Amino acid sequence: MTRPAAALANAPDPAAPAAPPPDRPLLGIGLMLASVALLPVMDGFAKSMTEVFAAAQLVWARFLFQSMLIVPLALATSPRAMLRPIRLPLQVARGFGILCGTFLFFGAIRTMPIADALALLFIAPLIVTALSPLVLGEAVGVRRWSAVLVGFAGALVVLRPGLTVLQPGALLALGAGVSFAGYVLLTRRLSHAAPPLVTLAWTSLVCLSASSLAMPMVWVTPEPVQLAKMAAMGIIGAGGHYLMIRAFEKAPAALIAPFGYAEIVTATIIGYYWFGDFPDGWTWVGIAILVASGIYISLRERVRHGA
């Protein structure tokens, strides 16, 4: 789980230091598409092991191998910022946001298709928009409020409460979306706290440290093939996030936001070919509503900021 990429694009990470205006939008779009094409593969590996390992151990493995890649890179590129982090409590809180989101998402895909769970994750940018006035003091106009309400209607179409579709897995996915929204809001509070790669490294370390506490209670020794899958999860997670960071460097966040929703395509392909899952008609209707509302909010952000 990223995720979802569009939520970060709708609320760009201000932890990045000032940079020259981006001038390679096509490259930025390509990097974002590569990122969201990779990340559902990580979810596929996680789903393939949920019958053997607890979600907590899968989360731990993902952030262990991700930290092994990202932390040395952050130390090499920004040693001072890495060793003397600014606003550490917010960095830690931000890490817990994505930790909870990842844990809930891995729990959700144990019992439901990856694409269905990802669709419910798309409520994150809507929640960010809805809470921005309270948490960040940002004004939200009538049009964006309308898009938020439409988006929540799309989530209800996916959930279909009262029609036997609502299940514990769906509630976990919904909780993951809420957790990720909190992660994005904290990201916006961390204005100029650190370069993006350093922030990602601290996020990985927080998640690894916290999830390690649960290992004595849930540990199952992985076989070599399973260990290789866990390593692949961490490598893919690190690679996907790094590509996303580079995408933000090359193109305005509001421009590339709609392309983050392409993640549903890879998630559907992975779910169908690996697990025989395919969203039904009503789920696609809900996905379309959620994506349309998210894209509209992104376009309004682009207009508002003159991107």
Can you give the residue ranges of every domain in the chain? Answer: 5-305
What pLDDT sits at residue 10? 44
Question: Three-state secondary structure along the chain?
Answer: CCCCHHHHHHCCCCCCCCCCCCCCHHHHHHHHHHHHHHHHHHHHHHHHCCCCCCHHHHHHHHHHHHHHHHHHHHHHHCHHHHHCCCCHHHHHHHHHHHHHHHHHHHHHCCCCCHHHHHHHHCCHHHHHHHHHHHHCCCCCCHHHHHHHHHHHHHHHHHHCCCCCCCCHHHHHHHHHHHHHHHHHHHHHHCCCCCCHHHHHHHHHHHHHHHHHCCHHHHCCCCCHHHHHHHHHHHHHHHHHHHHHHHHHHHCCHHHHHHHHCCHHHHHHHHHHHHHCCCCCHHHHHHHHHHHHHHHHHHHHHHHHHCC
Rounded to a whole number of angstroms, the CA Rg of the chain reads: 18
Q: What are the tokens at 71?
A: 């932390």
**Amino acid 181: pLDDT:** 82
Q: Print pLDDT tens along the chain (307 aa).
A: 555 555 554 444 444 444 455 467 788 888 888 988 898 999 999 999 999 999 999 999 999 999 999 999 999 988 888 888 777 888 888 889 889 999 999 999 988 888 888 888 877 777 777 777 666 666 666 776 777 777 777 777 776 654 545 577 888 988 998 898 888 777 777 656 677 788 888 889 999 999 999 999 999 999 999 999 999 999 998 888 888 877 877 776 666 667 777 888 888 888 888 988 887 787 888 888 877 877 777 666 655 555 4
pLDDT for the residue numbered 103: 93
Q: Rounded CA gap, 33 and 198, in Å?
A: 23
pTM value > 0.95? no
Report the pLDDT value the prediction gives residue 215, as an integer from 0 to 100.
96
Distance, in Å, from the CA atom of 128 to the CA atom of 66, rounded to the nearest integer, reads: 26
Cβ–Cβ < 8 Å for 78, 192: no
pLDDT at 230: 95
87 by Cβ neighbours in 10 Å (0-12 / 13-18 / 19+) ranks as: middle
Pull the structure tokens for residue 110: 């144990």
Contacts of 66 (CB under 8 A, 6+ apart): 204, 234, 235, 237, 238, 241
